[in-house]
Amino acid sequence: MSIHISFPDGSVSEYPEGITPLEIAKGKLNPVACRINGELSDLTRAIFSDVALEFVTFDSPEGKAVFWHSTSHILAQAVKRLFPEAKLAIGPAIEEGFYYDFDVKSPFTEEEIARIEEEMAKIIEEDIPFVREEISKKEAENIFLSLGEEYKLELLSDIDDKNVSIYRNGDFVDLCRGPHLPSTGWVKFLKLTSVAGAYWRGDERNKMLQRIYGISFPKKKELKEYLHKLDEAKKRDHRILGTKLNLFMMDDSIGPGLVIWKPEGAVVRGIIEDYWKSIHRKWGYQYIYTPHIARLSLWETSGHTEFYSDNMFQPIDVEGQMYQ
């Protein structure tokens, strides 16, 4: 039995029922995903009816997101191989690359990051298929309960749908909407770029997780150019330049990100502030000065206490009155 598939250029072609977009694209172009009737989809999804098909390449924002999200799964698989006790949190694609959050006993060292990157290269060499499964939410809960993945169970508890999708690549499984690349071997060149602490769900009341950032590309030249851009950006990092030029310093005993301006830096800051003020005066602005704190009742009236209290300093008692 045959089906008819229409393409963005207006053409329509006949194919056997059950064909995949990957088979249609073979030898013609290099997509990383596709749209079937407008819905972003895996290239390995079988088609059984007449549809509109559009291919998505790495050059597009959606294509990069699929490519980087797939690489984040490879990262998680590598970490689980090397550190089986690690708990998986989330691993999305971001504006430039991807990250994955892990709950581990201690922060990853430089040597461990190097080992993880090597393990990722092995997984890519194994060319393991990404396999999508649509299962009931209960089945998914049983899978992640048996794996001891408490963060995945928490994510599942927030999903109202009766069915969810998971992706497997070999012995690794993750809760995920997808889509993904056809297999791990599609990721050709990658680099893990940094590690940072990150609170689960961005809430400082939750546990601090270890977040590994990375980048990947289909071509070596693209990775080389990206890493060169990072090196150039580091040279212009204000934190490094400011220290080298003796403009400012930071001290952990005071607090992270709290700047102490040295004499040279104070001069530069003063010049910038004077210029800023002169421009405002030129355009008719006038200055006022307000206190740094106010009665708690003011913030209650403004709505800040109700909506932003978690991100505000705690109230202080001044002569029986609460201020914030």
Convert the pLDDT of each residue in 73-127 to its tens digit. 999 999 999 999 999 999 999 999 999 999 999 999 999 999 999 999 999 999 9
Q: Tell me, yes or no, whether 82 and 220 share the same domain.
A: yes
* Domain boundaries, position 49: 2-57
**Structural tokens at position 254:** 């005071």
Q: Tell me, yes or no, whether 194 and 222 share the same domain.
A: yes
How many domains would you assign to the chain?
4
Q: Tell me, yes or no, whether 35 and 139 share the same domain.
A: no
pLDDT reported for residue 243? 86
**Looking at 16, 39, 57, which one is the last position of a domain?**
57
User: What CATH number did the domain enclosing 10 receive?
Assistant: 3.10.20.30
Nearest to 181 by CA among 166, 191, 169, 163: 169
pLDDT reported for residue 78? 98
Q: Tell me, yes or no, whether 203 and 119 share the same domain.
A: yes
Q: Tell me, yes or no, whether 78 and 226 share the same domain.
A: yes
Per-block average pLDDT, block size 10, for the chain (324 residues)?
94 95 88 96 96 96 97 98 97 96 96 98 97 97 97 95 96 96 97 95 90 97 94 86 88 85 93 95 93 89 83 86 88
